[in-house]
């Protein structure tokens, strides 16, 4: 399992020619289906996750320029930018704060988002480590926070 924030800044390379097509600027996540839907490489172009051949430690590989698509004017309500999700507080339906989203964990083969990585603050993270919460099937994504079912509190672990 890999962390999504590690994708930001990676070059996107064409395997047919070796040419760099751009750089990962954002990752769009469909929070309803729990999948990475697109990789944003510019203000005008995206790559659907299905078109990504491989994600390596140094680059995102696609077969050719035909893998690129025009960026939609407005993403759907179910899609959220990785950078917008990071920094949001996660609370249960009963008001218990579980932490602040620091990253998302995903399966690099399928694009499935499997977990949120949660922070309790720099000192706590240093002493205890970051917490991991499985990606909830039901969640409400607000401007500043996520609301998850109460049962998610029992599933958070270090």
d(CA 104, CA 118): 9
Task: Report the pLDDT averaged over residues 123-148.
Answer: 91
pTM of the model: 0.87
Q: Could you report the per-residue pLDDT of 3-39, keeping only the tens digit for each?
A: 999 999 999 999 999 999 999 999 999 988 888 888 8
| C-alpha pair distances (Å), 69 with each of 39, 59, 65, 72, 78 | 10, 19, 9, 9, 19
- The predicted pLDDT at position 112 comes to 95
Ordered by where they begin, the domains of the chain are: 2-81 (2.30.30.240), 83-155 (2.30.30.240)
């Amino acid at each position: 399992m890999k962390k999504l924030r590690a994708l930001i800044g990676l070059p996107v390379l064409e395997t047919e020619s070796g040419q760099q097509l751009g750089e990962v600027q954002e990752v769009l996540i469909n929070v309803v289906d729990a999948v990475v839907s697109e990789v944003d490489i510019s203000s005008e172009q995206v790559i659907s996750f299905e078109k990504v051949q491989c994600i390596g430690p140094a680059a995102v590989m696609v077969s050719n320029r035909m893998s690129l698509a025009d960026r939609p004017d407005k993403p759907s309500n179910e899609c959220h930018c990785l950078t917008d999700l990071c920094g949001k507080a996660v609370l249960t339906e009963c008001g218990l704060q579980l932490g602040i989203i620091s990253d998302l964990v995903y399966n690099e083969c399928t694009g499935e988002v499997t977990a949120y990585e949660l922070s309790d603050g720099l000192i706590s993270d240093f002493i205890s480590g970051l917490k991991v919460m499985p990606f909830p099937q039901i969640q409400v994504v607000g401007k500043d926070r996520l609301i998850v079912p109460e049962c998610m509190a029992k599933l958070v672990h270090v």
